[in-house]
Every structure is written in C-alpha cells, then in structure tokens.
Amino acid sequence: MDSAALLTLAITVIAAILLITEILRPDLVALLVLVALGITGTVKPQEVFAGFSGSAVMTLIAISMIGAALHKTGVTLVLSRGMLRLGNKNDATLILVTFLTAAGLSLFMNNIAVVGILLPAVMTLTRSAGVSPSRLLLPLAYGTILGGMATLFTTSNIVVSGALREAGFAPFGVLDFFPIGLPLVVIGAVYMVTVGRRMLPTTQPEGRNGLLTQLGARLTEMYNLKSNLAEIMVLPDSPLAGKTISAGDWRKKVGLTIIGVIRNGQPYLAPKRSEIIHPGDRLMVHGLVDPAKMVEFQLVAVPGSPAQPKVVNEIIKLAELVIPPHSSMVGKSLRDLNFREKYHLTVVAVWRSNCPVEEDLADLQLQPGDALLVQGTARRIRLLHGDPDMVLLEEDPDAVLAPGRIYLALGITLVALIIAATGLVPVAETILAGAVLLVVTGCMNMNDAYRSIEWKAIFLIAGMWPLSTAIRDTGLARQAVNALLGLLGDIAPLWIALALILIAMLLTQVMSGQVAALVVAPLAMAAGASAQIDSRALGMAVALGCSLAFPTPYGHPVNIMVMSSGGYNFRTFTRIGIPLTILVILAILAGLAIFWGL
C-alpha cells in the first residue's frame, strides 16, 4: 500500500471517529476532510471542489427548489391531507403511510426527488397530526431507499447493469429487481411499524420547539380567540346592509371585527374593507356580542351555527407582529394608520401587559412592545418582511402563497420527472431545468429557492465527495476488496454473494452507492468468472448491497436530507438501521437463492 493510500486510510478513520463520536458537526467534519485531502495533494486540485458541482449536489439543490414550489402552490398540502386521512392521526398508521408512499414513488422516481417532494408534505403532516417530525422522517428515508431497491431506476442498479453490458453479459431489465425488491419493502414496512417504531425518537428536534402544532392553532389558543368568535346574519332591514365594511365601521358601531363572510354557502376569510355586506350574508366575527347592538343594527345569531367559526385556511393565515421602539406607529391608533387599507390585514387582537386586548382596537394607541395578531392572506403577511415599523415573529410554514398555480407547478414537476426517468437527458440537468421553469412561471421566486436549500446537506455531501474519489483513485478500495475475496478462497456461491453485499454496503457508507457500484461491480464479474458462478446473480448482489444505506446517515443523500429536520444523529441511524440491514441482507440472500439459483 503506497503513501497516498495510507494517508487516505488515515483520513477516513479519523473522519469516521469524528462522525461517530459527534465531537464536531458533520458538515464541519466534511469540510475538514476536503481541506486535508486538498492540502496533502491526495486529490487533484480540480477534484477537491468537484463535489459542489457534482450531479448529486445539483440534483439535491434542484429538487429542493421544486419542493419549495410545490409547497408554495399547495401541492404538498393536498398530499399531506391525503396522507393524514389514510393515517388517521395514529402513530403506527402514519409511519406506514409515509413509508409506503415513499417506497411507491421511488419505484418510478429518483430517490432524492422523492424525498425532496415528500419532505415538505410530511412536515406539514406532522403539524396537522400533532406528532414530532422525528417519528416520520426516518421512515420516509428508509421507505425511499427500499422502494428504489425494487426497480432498475436507482443509480447504483443502473451502474451495475451497465457494467454487465460492458463485460458481455445481458443487462438487467426493469422488472429484474422486483421479485427480491418487493419483499424487501414489505419487510421494511413491518419492521418500521413494530420494532423500528419503538426506537424512533419522540422528542421535538432542537430549534423547533413550538412547531409541533400548527401556527394558527397556537395563536388562536394564545390569544383566546375561541371565546369571542361568533357567526351572525345580516337581516334585510339592517342599516349596515348595502355598505362596505369600511363605511359600516363595524368595530366602532357594533364592537365586532369581521373576519369572514359566508355567501351562497362559500366562506371568504379576511374580506377587504371595500367588500359590500349584503342582506342575508352570514358573517364570522370576533368580539363581544352586545344583544342591544344586535337589535339596533338588525343582526341575529345564526341558528345552529358552529360556536367557533374557522378563522384560517390554506390561504388565509394568522400572524403575530411586534411594534419595535423605533417604529413610526408608536403613539398612533390603527384608525390613524389606516392599517387595514394600507396592509390589507385585519388586526384581530393586541397583546399588551401579558394579556390580549380585544376591545376598542381601532382607537387604541400603539405602544412599543405591543404584539398585533393579524389575519390576512399568506402573500400579504410575507410582504411584511423587512418592514421597519413591524417585526414579523413567525410565518405559517403551511401557508399556500400561490394557490392559482397549483396545476402549473404539478404539471412542470411531472414532466421533469418523467423525462428524467426515461434517461434521455441526465437527471440533474432535467430536474434543474424544471426548477428554473418553476421560477420563470411564477410558481416561486429566487428568494423562495434560496430559503428551500438545506445548505448543511450540501456542504456535507460536497465535502465528503473528494474522500470517495481518493478511496477509488489511490486503489484503497480495490486493494481491500481483493484482499477480502482472496481470504474467502473456495466457498459456496451464496457466501461470495454475502461478501460482495457486505463490501458494497461498507463502501456505500464512505462513498456514494453509485461510486461503490463502480468499484465493486467489475470485481464481482471477475469473481463470477473465476468461480464459475452466474455473474448476473453476483451483480444483483452488488447492486442491492450498494443500496444498504441504513446504518449511517452518510450512506445516501436522502438520509442527510432528513437528518436535520428530524433531529437525528449518528446513533439514531445505527440503532434503527443495523437491525433493518441484517433483515434485508438475509432477505436478499434468500431471494438470490430462490430467483437466481445461488
């Protein structure tokens, strides 16, 4: 073993120790690896930063952008609602639905694309169901990986199939992986809803306190809105009928704030001040209902109406704004500021002195530190970012900002994914083209795109990329594989398949599955020829072994994608992933014996 291989081995061991012990952040360890390989000259200068432009990184960036567009237009919200209906807020059922949805999509789509699309939907699902993201994101990643093992469209499977063709053997067909892959999905699903479910973390990920429930529900409870919500009807003789909300001056005359209008059975939340109130309209209002005022203005409570009307939906949201000391709003009332006309938002309540104020809001002089609870469209709330007179405390992560473009976003995404699946155009270029088209068509803007990218995952993958290059180019991987195969000697074909599976699995943890396939596949062909074993069967073993990314977060990009949002660490993956890996390996061996005659 030459000096370059020894140095690569040393860096690999040190990096593994740092990642396992978590002495340093994983992304920082990846950058240290990159720097060490570059400074020592182990990797060529042009290859040190190649990971940042690698296909995996560019695909991850592009699919993150697509996920943001699908979330902004409401596609992921619709998907999460469907999953919630199937899961019925039951922990085991939600895990199963998430797992099977991911596995099903990964049969036809790139694994990174599956997680990129489902991750926002599953995060919305966790808030709707009131469960921690840590309960569902690992099943999402594992379901995606296992589903990919049942199809040819997984990158490592394609690489091994190509190696077979180059060696003069018949390449794999689309359905060749299915007889073994389908039982693997079933085994994984059973494992995750039984043993795996008991080992999944239950705590909220660090930095996400308070996000377990939906923002609207938390603000409604904090400001005690439910106690003062009502639904009333405007009678034909009401003096307020036929007037706009502004002209009617509802807050001053009746003491109520109109937060929604129900007309022809259709609710319209956060109506504009210019909205005309018609006789027979049903109004969702907030405030103290004065019976005398109701009689005076010819208003009646709606018989049999819900006691607590809904104040938010996927488009209309609640938000909390704080008035800073330097704000020009200090000392002025909402009426003075023409707040509703200027911002197109309705102030429902004001938080002052540790309690909500709900009366005489229009004439209440604002003070530094006041918090305004406002209702309006998510797009209008988004525009408050950077306003020097107010501080937006938090945006609703489930808000739909561009509801009119839901079908456009879905169509562009499906076309991009179908083209990518055909292999006519490289996956990274196709997905990136789809992401750019979503920006051009207004399904999202570039600020949304930048916010959507998980930079921790990007630096982690790009930083570890040159390590896989060094392991391959220095011959370290080939020497290790040859040494192990030499030790095995003349053994049964199934044991050789097991050895190749384990080698592929181990290499996958330190380099991508596709790189591991490039290293191990030719050796499998050679081992098959020398031992007179079906090389296609050994190729199948290698391909499936390259997908065994369960034991560590670094075996596959999808693990890294869910790591931060799920609050997982290295030990989480080893604790849950190792038993699953053992079960999957045993099932693969059984499948090779049954379907491939090993």
Which of 367, 397, 427 is the C-terminal boundary of a domain?
Answer: 397
In angstroms, the CA 400 to CA 76 distance is: 10
Same-domain check for residues 278 and 161 = no
Domain for residue 154, yes or no? Answer: yes
Q: Are residues 271 and 292 in the same domain?
A: yes
CB 286 within 8 Å of CB 228:
yes
Place of tokens 């999202």: 444
Residue 265 inside a domain? The answer is yes
pLDDT number for residue 477: 65
Please indicate, yes or no, whether residues 91 and 164 belong to a single structural domain of this protein.
Answer: yes
Kindly list the distances between the CA atom of residue 274 and the CA atoms of 246, 270, 309, in Å, as whole numbers in the listed order.
Answer: 6, 12, 22
| Residues 510 and 572 grouped into a single domain | yes
Total of domains in the chain:
2
User: CA–CA separation, 515 vs 519, rounded Å?
Assistant: 6
* Cβ 469 vs Cβ 90: under 8 Å: no
Asked whether residue 585 is assigned to any structural domain, the reply reads: yes
Check whether residue 177 and residue 277 sit in a common domain.
Answer: no
Residue 119 lies in a domain: yes
Confirm whether 16 is domain-assigned.
no
Whether residue 181 is found in the same domain as residue 241: no
pLDDT at 484: 65
Domain boundary among 397, 418, 433: 397
Domain that holds residue 273: 215-397
Q: How many Cα atoms sit within 13 Å of 261 on the Cβ side? A: 18
Q: For residues 241 and 351, state if they share a domain.
A: yes
Number of helical (H) and strand (E) elements in the chain, helices listed first: 28, 10
Question: Which residues, 6 or more positions from 392, have their beta carbon under 8 angstroms from its beta carbon?
Answer: 319, 320, 321, 381, 384, 385
Global pTM value: 0.70
Q: Examine the domain organization and report whether 492 and 476 are in the same domain.
A: yes
Report the alpha-carbon distance of residue 561 to residue 52 in Å, rounded: 16
Q: Is residue 152 part of a domain?
A: yes
Q: Do residues 221 and 193 both lie within one domain? A: no
CATH number at residue 366: 3.30.70.1450
How many beta carbons lie within 10 A of that of residue 446, not counting itself? 9
Question: What is the chain's pLDDT, residue by residue, as a tens digit (598 residues)?
Answer: 678 888 888 888 888 788 777 788 878 888 898 899 889 888 888 888 887 877 767 877 887 888 888 888 888 888 888 888 888 778 899 999 999 999 998 887 778 878 888 888 888 888 878 888 999 999 999 999 999 999 877 778 877 887 787 778 888 877 789 999 999 999 999 999 999 999 999 876 654 444 445 666 777 777 766 677 788 888 988 998 888 888 888 877 888 888 888 887 777 777 887 888 988 888 888 777 888 888 888 888 876 554 455 677 767 888 888 888 888 999 888 888 888 888 888 888 888 877 777 667 778 888 888 888 888 888 888 888 878 888 887 777 767 778 788 899 989 988 987 887 776 787 778 889 999 999 999 888 888 888 878 787 778 778 877 877 787 778 776 776 677 666 666 678 888 899 889 988 988 887 667 767 777 777 777 777 777 788 899 989 999 999 999 999 888 888 988 888 888 988 999 999 999 999 999 999 999 999 988 7
237 plus 355 within the same structural domain: yes
Output the pLDDT for position 490.
67
The rounded Cα 335 to chain-centroid distance in angstroms is 42
Q: Which of 582, 579, 572, 560 is nearest to 141 (CA)?
A: 560
- Residue 580 has a pLDDT of 96
Co-location of 202 and 222 in the same domain: no
Burial annotation 17-55 (CB, 10 A radius, 16+ → b, else e): ebbeeeeeebbebbbbbbebbbeeebbeeebbbebbebb
The answer to whether residues 381 and 290 belong to one domain is yes
Answer with the one of 397, 430, 453 that is the final residue of a domain: 397
Cβ–Cβ < 8 Å for 95, 139: yes
Q: Is residue 79 part of a domain?
A: yes
pLDDT reported for residue 341:
82
Whether residue 496 is contained in a domain is answered as yes
Distances (CA, A) of 73 to 125, 439, 557: 16, 12, 26
User: How many angstroms separate the Cα of 370 from the Cα of each of 320, 322, 325, 342, 554?
Assistant: 10, 6, 10, 19, 46
Report the pLDDT value the prediction gives residue 210, as an integer from 0 to 100: 41
